[in-house]
Amino acid sequence: MAVAVRVEGLEKRYATDEGAVNAVRGVSFEVEDGEFFTLLGPSGCGKSTTLRCIAGLEKADGGEIAIGDMVVVSQSGAQVPAHQRPIGMVFQSYAIWPHMDVFDNVAFPISRGKGKLPKAEVRERVLEALSLVRLDGLERRPAPQLSGGQQQRLALARALVRQPKALLLDEPLSNLDAKLRDDMRVELKTLTERLNITTLFVTHDQLEALTLSDKIAVMRDGLIVQLGGPKDIYDDPNSRFTAEFIGTTNLLEGTVASRDGDVMRVETPQGTLVCAALDSLGPGDRAAIAVRPANIGVSAEPPNADNVLEGSIETVVFLGDSHDCRVDVGGELIRAFVHASRSVERGDKVYLAMSAADCRLLPPEAAFVEREDGGGASLRLGAGASPAVA
């Protein structure tokens, strides 16, 4: 598979009144041709900065970026100007020209400056792009008279009109209300699949990332902390940060008691749990166990399972197809789902059953601490250290 976008050791610092901000600290990844690749992470982790460096809207301080076989940022510091990079970009705000109609908005990138095309070709390309996003017939509508979803599609059409090698999307759905966001998410997925266009998508919404992406890079504090397919990241988070950021998870704190081949026994205040061993941990080490609510069985009678905990139901929320329960186990509330056909009530004594395979052992959280020279954060591993994200 050919690589459509390659980012290697990208660095970006901003000078601010409070000192330097290390927004991106050595980020590397490759996006294959036709792939939908997502940068996912909390606010301020460097997603937009990474995208803007690829687009040429920010000057990288270090590293290399290639789009197809065009090196747009080289190790020597040479940079290709933004308008010459073969990309189309959609911003969170859409950045639509309010004084122009739909046609002129889409025509803009190919009807002036160095990328200018002959008039007939501009028309052909604009109509084609509008048809791709199902805005045909609205060419002469003033842009501000479009609905939110239509403006979003207009921004997409404008990004596509240059027939870019890659589409860069910075939280393009976040301005839409919930229902429209769901619809547009499906539309975006359909469109990018149909065009088979390489897409680099930025979001802090884990659901968007999980549903749209072929691959996800989880970012934290200017670094990629995990990279993989949606299922890998969901099922196999490599840190508490990822486990908590993506999906709903229960985290139980404990200490490794022993290892027996591929499994470890971990003592927690809720009871001893058996889970798949982690090579980086040994007896005596602090650890956390992540288990998804959907992977916990709830029963009134003691079940036959690798791990069984006893508790009482503290709260029940009816979700239509299930009851979302929080079960008090030794003072810790563990979330689990019970099928709607069963009746559960607050105060019920229940058993929670978890297979060892679904109990994911995680190393103690890496604490992100500011370096003393103020030169940004560094990674420090420490038992029981609290996560302090700058």
Ligand X SMILES: Nc1ncnc2c1ncn2[C@@H]1O[C@H](COP(=O)(O)OP(=O)(O)OP(=O)(O)O)[C@@H](O)[C@H]1O
Interaction site with ligand X (CB under 6 A): 14, 16, 21, 23, 41, 43-49, 204
We find the least distance from the C-beta atom of residue 31 to ligand X, in angstroms, to be: 18
We find the least distance from the C-beta atom of residue 212 to ligand X, in angstroms, to be: 16
Q: Which long-range contacts (CB under 8 A, 24 or more apart) does 132-139 make?
A: 132/157, 132/160, 132/191, 132/195, 133/157, 133/160, 133/191, 135/102, 138/102, 139/101, 139/102, 139/103
Do 55 and 87 contact (CB within 8 A), yes or no? yes
Q: Which stretch binds Mg ion (CB under 5 A): 6-14, 44-52, 67-75, 148-156?
A: 44-52
We find the least distance from the C-beta atom of residue 89 to Mg ion, in angstroms, to be: 13
We find the least distance from the C-beta atom of residue 245 to ligand X, in angstroms, to be: 12
**Which partner from the list ligand X, Mg ion, none does 307 bind, CB cut-off 5 to 8 Å by kind?**
none
Give the C-alpha distances (Å, rounded to integers) separating 128 from 134, 136, 161, 171: 10, 9, 8, 24
Q: Total residues contacting Mg ion (rule CB under 5 A)?
A: 1
Residues in CB range of 102: below 8 A, 6 or more apart: 130, 135, 138, 139, 140, 141, 142, 143, 146, 154
The residue among 128 and 205 lying less far from ligand X, judged by its C-beta, is: 205
- Tell me whether strands 198-203 and 36-40 are parallel, antiparallel or unpaired: parallel
**Which partner from the list ligand X, Mg ion, none does 293 bind, CB cut-off 5 to 8 Å by kind?**
none
We find the least distance from the C-beta atom of residue 129 to ligand X, in angstroms, to be: 27
Q: Which long-range contacts (CB under 8 A, 24 or more apart) does 318-324 make?
A: 324/293
- Taking the C-alpha atoms of residue 336 and residue 297, their distance in angstroms, rounded to an integer, is 7
The residue among 93 and 163 lying less far from ligand X, judged by its C-beta, is: 93
**Which partner from the list Mg ion, ligand X, none does 364 bind, CB cut-off 5 to 8 Å by kind?**
none
Query: By CB under 5 A, is residue 48 in contact with Mg ion?
Result: yes
The residue among 109 and 376 lying less far from ligand X, judged by its C-beta, is: 376
**Which partner from the list ligand X, Mg ion, none does 14 bind, CB cut-off 5 to 8 Å by kind?**
ligand X
The residue among 23 and 217 lying less far from ligand X, judged by its C-beta, is: 23
**Which partner from the list ligand X, Mg ion, none does 44 bind, CB cut-off 5 to 8 Å by kind?**
ligand X
- Taking the C-alpha atoms of residue 313 and residue 329, their distance in angstroms, rounded to an integer, is 9
Q: Which two tokens stand for residue 209?
A: 């990332």
Q: What angle do CA 163, 207, 326 make, to 5 degrees?
A: 180
The residue among 130 and 225 lying less far from ligand X, judged by its C-beta, is: 225
We find the least distance from the C-beta atom of residue 27 to Mg ion, in angstroms, to be: 14
* Cβ-based burial of 386 (10 A; exposed 0-12, middle 13-18, buried ≥19): exposed
The residue among 158 and 204 lying less far from ligand X, judged by its C-beta, is: 204
Q: Which of 261, 307, 260, 265 is nearest to 287 (CA)?
A: 265
The residue among 48 and 268 lying less far from ligand X, judged by its C-beta, is: 48
We find the least distance from the C-beta atom of residue 215 to ligand X, in angstroms, to be: 18
Q: 370 in the Ramachandran plot: left (φ > 0), alpha (ψ -120 to 50) or beta? A: beta
Query: By CB under 5 A, is residue 38 in contact with Mg ion?
Result: no
**Which partner from the list ligand X, Mg ion, none does 165 bind, CB cut-off 5 to 8 Å by kind?**
none
Q: Residue numbers of the site for Mg ion (CB under 5 A)?
A: 48
